[in-house]
Amino acid sequence: MLDLYGEAQDPQRPVVCFDESPTQLIGEVRQPIPAAPGRLERYGYKRNGTANLFFFLEAHRSWRKVEVTERRAAHEFAQSIRELADVYYPDAERIRVVLDNLSTQALAALYQALPPSGARRILRRLEFHYTPKHASWLI
């Protein structure tokens, strides 16, 4: 993994890190109550549901993209990967994607969400590098 990051930038073979994060959508319901001696500022809020954030970051240049989806399912993962290949790196020979081993982040997700010919076309240009479950690989 570290060797991959240590390589020189190659526009034909970019290294793109991918991750996701569920998040709560929160709205304020009143003006904050100011801090006072011995008390922190207080807020009133209401929960407006949840969303998922998909993050893309190219390791060798300052490019990043965040996509907001309603869910973190295989279909949304596949659509994000399709967009990565077709929109952001249409001319790259091979896109090396670094990601964790989450069950929705599998090659099969592309076949579930796209026609077989479309999934195969995209997968021919991808190379997945899965991070270990623990940081013991850094030692």
| Domain 15-26+46-138 architecture | 2-Layer Sandwich (3.30)
Give the start-to-end residue ranges of the domains of the chain: 15-26+46-138
Contact present, 97 and 18 (Cβ < 8 Å): yes
pTM of the model as a whole: 0.77
Reported as a single tens digit per residue, the pLDDT across 51-69 is: 999 999 998 988 999 998 8
Closest by alpha carbon to 118, among 65, 76, 69, 79?
A: 79
What 3-state class would DSSP assign to 108? helix
Q: What percentage of the chain exceeds 70 in pLDDT?
A: 93
Locate tokens 């399912």: which residue? 73
10 Å CB burial of residue 67 (0-12, 13-18, 19+) is middle
- Once rounded to an integer, what is the mean pLDDT over residues 80-89? 94
